Structure 1
Amino acid sequence: MAIAAFGQGGRGGAGRGPAAPANPKAAAPVDLTGYWVSLVTEDWRFRMVTPAKGDYASVPLNAEGRKVADAWDPDKDVAGGNQCKAYGAAALMRVPGRVHIEWQDDNTLKVQTDAGTQTRVFHFGTAQPGGLLTSPAPIPAQPELQGYSVAIWEMAGGGRAGRGGPPGGAPAGPRGGSLKVVTTHLSPGYLRKNGVPYSGNTVLTEYYDRTNETDGASYLIVTTIVEDPQYLGGPQNPTGQFITSTHFKKEPDGSKWNPSPCSAK
Structure 2
Amino acid sequence: MKIATATLAIVLIAGASAAQTAKAAAPIDLTGYWVSVISEDWRYRMVMPLKGDFRGIPLNAEGTRVANTWTPTATEPAAEQCKPYGAAAIMRIPTRLHVTWQDDSTLRLDTDAGTQTRLLHFEAGEAGRAGEAGRSQAPSWQGTSAARWDRAGRGAPAVAAGALTVVTTNLRPGYLRRNGVPYSEDAWVTEYFDLSPLPGNGQLLIVTTVVEDPRYLRQPYILSSHFKKEADGSKWDPTPCTTTW
- TM-score, scaled to structure 1: 0.80
Match of 2:4 in 1: none
The aligned residue for residue 259 of structure 1 is: 238
Report the identity percentage.
Answer: 53
Distance in 1 between residues matched to 2:181 and 2:162, nearest whole Å: 33
Which of 196, 206, 223 aligns to 1:244? It is 223
Partner deviation per Cα, 1:143-190 (whole Å, 9 max, x = no partner)? 11110000000001299xxxxxxxxxxxx8721100000000001000
Aligned pairs for 1:12-161 within 5 A: 19-20=16-17, 22-73=20-71, 76-79=74-77, 81-124=79-122, 125-127=124-126, 132-133=128-129, 140-157=136-153
CA contact (8 A) 1:65 1:231 kept: yes
Gaps (5+ residues) in structure 2?
1-9
Task: For 2:183, give the aligned amino acid.
Answer: Y
Q: 1:185–1:138: structure 2 CA closer, same or farther, 3 Å change rule?
A: closer
- 8 Å CA contact 1:65, 1:197 repeated in 2: yes
Give the conservation status (yes or no) of the 8 Å contact 2:130–2:144: no
Distance in 1 (CA, whole Å) between partners of 2:20 and 2:131 is: 16
Equivalent residue of 2:129, what SS? strand
1:182-217 CA distances to partner (integer Å, 9 max, x unpaired)?
Answer: 000001000011110000000000000111234211
Q: 1:252 to 1:173 in 2, by over 3 A?
A: farther
Selected match of 2:188 from 181, 195, 203: 203
* Counterparts of 2:158 and 2:50, CA distance in 1: 39
Q: CA deviation at 1:22?
A: 1.7
| Gap runs ≥5 in structure 1 | 1-14, 160-171, 234-239
SS of the equivalent of 1:81 reads helix
Change (3 A) 1:202 1:136: closer
CA shift in 2, pair 1:140/1:260, >3 Å: farther
CA contact 2:134–2:143 (8 Å) conserved in 1: no
Residue number among 162, 177, 180 corresponding to 1:177 in the alignment: 162
Note if contact 1:173-1:214 (Cα within 8 Å) is conserved in structure 2: no
Tell me how far apart the structure 2 counterparts of residues 135 and 226 of structure 1 sit (CA, whole Å): 14
RMSD over equivalenced CA pairs, Å: 2.3
How many pairs were matched up? 230
Of Structure 1 and Structure 2, which has the larger fraction of its residues in helix?
A: 2
Equivalent residues of 2:97, 2:109 under 8 A apart: yes
